[in-house]
Amino acid sequence: MGGRPILERALLLPLTRRRLLWLSCGSVLVACRRGEATPPPTATASAVTPLPSPTPPRRPVTPTPTATPVLISPTPSPRPTPTPVAARIFVRMRLDEPKSHDFNADAACGGEPELFAGLVRLAPDYSVQPDWATAWEVSADGTRYIFSLRSNRSGWSNGDPVRASDFVWSWQRMLDPAHPAPQASLLNLVGNGKAVREGRLSPEQLAVRALDDSTLEVELERPAGYFLWILGTPGFLPAHRPSVERWGARWTEAGRCVSNGPFYLASWEPGSGYTVNANPHYWNRPNLDSCTVTIARSTDPLLPFYRGQVDVAAVPQEELPRVSSEEALLERVERSILPETWFLVIQPDSAPLDDLELRRAVSRAIDRERLRQLLYGAVEPAQSLVPPGIPGSVRDDSVADAHRFVPLEAFRAWQRVRAGDPRPLRLTAPTECSPNEEAILQDVAMQLTSNLGVPVELVRLAAREWERAVEEGTFQLLWWRWPLPFPDAAAVYEWLLSSERRTLRGLRWRSDALDRLLVLARGETALTRRLGAYRQCERLAHEEFVLLPICHPVATYLVQPWVVTLPRTPTGELLDPERSFSRFLSAVTLSSRGS
């Protein structure tokens, strides 16, 4: 039988019960090697049916063709392999290193705000949305808030639950008289807040109480319809008390930071960048699994973007001319108008600026569009006192016309002043300004000199002298940069123009009509009615020309084509990932890189 196959040789032997059992086992073994299920008994019988009846060895029988399929190749049949889900990783490049991630101690720390979550959060349109508080009730007089918190068993990234007492302790920490947070004055709205901050009352006397683990009560000194918008800012994000007490000021370093937001701090290498991963204990998992934030290099900072190594890159000011001149890059440019306004403040009792027509002429002597071109789009001309996208920002023709550039009209209005051999107009400004701010300040002074026909003297003051001039009102024209402490028009009208203003105390101007409108707005929890009062405040302010809006700073970014969605303001601009009041990472979605 020489080189015949084993099975064929077996078929030539008498078919005893033992050999039949052997053949059946062999069939099952071959089938199993194909990765198939073990054949049922009926299948085995079918396989041996073509075999001949037992005969003497001298009469060999050739196997029938139907037996051939039993000879099966041992190669296993392919199985579908599950495709692993790719991690959703976002890479962003920023220009500067964060000081820390402790927003509770300093709202301007420059850290990653999505490490933490407050009672409420603000959507890109700055509407108030639930976060750790699922609901809240406001008393009829607008002075008492009851927040109901989620009853999750965990929430902090180490598995600790988020409790009402976390917010009580964090707010008390903000008001520590020895080390008050820069944003602590916002808690003056809360009962006893100012007295606690000044050390006249103990922190326990702050009118915020944890009624139980999931109920927080807050009492205000007076109605403040914008209170929820204050709670949605980074400065009101809580701190993890056990970590603060254990590590002190270094509690937000990598390996120590415990957070309660959509992400937790996975690593941080100062000078290089940091990585945050999705927090499995947060109540609402974000779209992204991870985000790496790199710090731009001093030389060729945009090279990682050109190589496709980052998804979104902040553009340094020195790179704007190059980015603005290359058509291919312009398609990738996104601009973000920051929640900040740069003003000229006019002291209305300082001659010759005690004349309303001359104050109007000052505003109309400034070409704001020229300022945008001067800095390659790093500023946006301002028409409203309130930045675009912020609740209460006014955009209509009457307001825009008040500050329209009409140099000939402005020059003629100052003719009688020039005829009297005028003294120079004094423009007071701080000695320390950013490069962009300095460029705008110098150009505004030059425009006023040229378009009014009178000399302008820049008076530069160091920090303490500057603060004294603002407090005492020893200025004629004042350069004023105002980053909004929270996203509501009250941050301009209440803080800068009301008779109870928190800053610009040296401005000798007040309006009873504006104060009445602000009292009305404070008691309104309905946003639409409050915005109606703010619109009238804006018109009153523009009629007096004591606060002249010049421009809003702008941050510029390059965005890769595979970034599908980014958060945007109601006016369509990109929401700034570092200096806005709404979350950025949680709204990002990506497609496959390079697709």
Q: What is the secondary structure of 178-202 as a DSSP string?
A: TS--TTGGGGGGBTTHHHHHTTSS-
- Whether residue 393 is found in the same domain as residue 364: yes
Q: Of the candidates 211, 231, 247, which is a domain's last residue? A: 247
- Whether residue 451 is found in the same domain as residue 487: yes
Q: Say what percent of the chain tops pLDDT 70.
A: 85
Does the residue 503 lie in any domain? Answer: yes
- Whether residue 566 is found in the same domain as residue 453: no
* Residues in Cβ contact with 279 at an 8 Å cutoff, skipping those fewer than 6 apart: 157, 259, 260, 261, 262, 263, 264
CB 371 within 8 A of CB 440: yes
Q: Is the pLDDT of residue 12 over 90?
A: no
SS (H, E, C) 205-247: HCCEEEEECCEEEEEECCCCCCHHHHHCCHHHCCCCHHHHHHH
Distance between CA 346 and CA 361 in Å, rounded? 12
Q: Is the pLDDT of residue 435 over 90?
A: yes
- Whether residue 235 is found in the same domain as residue 368: no
The token pair at 180 is: 């008050």
* pLDDT for position 291: 97
- Whether residue 169 is found in the same domain as residue 241: yes
Average pLDDT over residues 504-525: 92
**How many domains does the chain fold into?**
3
Average pLDDT over residues 557-561: 97
Does the residue 184 lie in any domain? Answer: yes
CB 264 within 8 A of CB 157: yes
CATH number reported for the structural domain that contains residue 170 in this entry: 3.90.76.10
The model's pLDDT over 439-457, given as tens digits with 9 standing for 90+, comes to 999 999 999 999 999 999 9
Does the residue 105 lie in any domain? Answer: no
Q: Is the pLDDT of residue 405 over 80?
A: yes
pTM (global) more than 0.85: no
Q: Say what percent of the chain tops pLDDT 90.
A: 77
- Whether residue 397 is found in the same domain as residue 484: yes
Average pLDDT over residues 528-553: 93
* pLDDT for position 571: 81
Cα torsion 304, 306, 311, 312: sign: positive
Q: Of the candidates 247, 265, 296, which is a domain's last residue? A: 247
Distance between CA 218 and CA 149 in Å, rounded? 13
CB 313 within 8 A of CB 93: yes
Compute the radius of gyration of the chain from its Cα atoms: 36
- Whether residue 465 is found in the same domain as residue 541: yes
The token pair at 149 is: 């918190």
Alpha helices by DSSP H, listed for 216-367, are 227-231, 241-247, 303-306, 320-325, 327-330, 356-364
* pLDDT for position 48: 34
Does the residue 1 lie in any domain? Answer: no
* pLDDT for position 594: 53
445's torsion region: left (phi>0), alpha (psi -120 to 50) or beta? alpha
- Whether residue 150 is found in the same domain as residue 284: no
- Whether residue 398 is found in the same domain as residue 533: yes
The position carrying tokens 């500050």 is 403
CATH number reported for the structural domain that contains residue 511 in this entry: 3.10.105.10
pLDDT band per the 50, 70, 90 thresholds, residue 85: low
* pLDDT for position 490: 94
* pLDDT for position 86: 66
pLDDT band per the 50, 70, 90 thresholds, residue 7: very low
* Residues in Cβ contact with 579 at an 8 Å cutoff, skipping those fewer than 6 apart: 338, 339, 340, 483, 555
Does the residue 363 lie in any domain? Answer: yes
Does the residue 416 lie in any domain? Answer: yes
The model's pLDDT over 244-261, given as tens digits with 9 standing for 90+, comes to 999 999 999 999 999 999
566: number of Cβ within 10 Å = 19
Three-state DSSP class for 420? coil
Q: Of the candidates 247, 267, 293, which is a domain's last residue? A: 247
Does the residue 72 lie in any domain? Answer: no
- Whether residue 306 is found in the same domain as residue 429: no
The model's pLDDT over 289-324, given as tens digits with 9 standing for 90+, comes to 999 999 999 999 999 999 999 999 999 999 999 999
CATH number reported for the structural domain that contains residue 564 in this entry: 3.40.190.10
Does the residue 40 lie in any domain? Answer: no
The token pair at 396 is: 């209509």
Q: Is the pLDDT of residue 187 over 70?
A: yes
The position carrying tokens 């303001």 is 569
- Whether residue 129 is found in the same domain as residue 201: yes
Average pLDDT over residues 230-244: 97
Distance between CA 361 and CA 404 in Å, rounded? 10
- Whether residue 367 is found in the same domain as residue 456: yes
The token pair at 167 is: 């917010």
Domain that holds residue 332: 90-95+253-336+555-590
Closest by alpha carbon to 468, among 458, 483, 457, 478? Answer: 478
The model's pLDDT over 190-219, given as tens digits with 9 standing for 90+, comes to 999 999 999 999 999 999 999 999 999 999
pLDDT band per the 50, 70, 90 thresholds, residue 578: confident
Three-state DSSP class for 458? strand
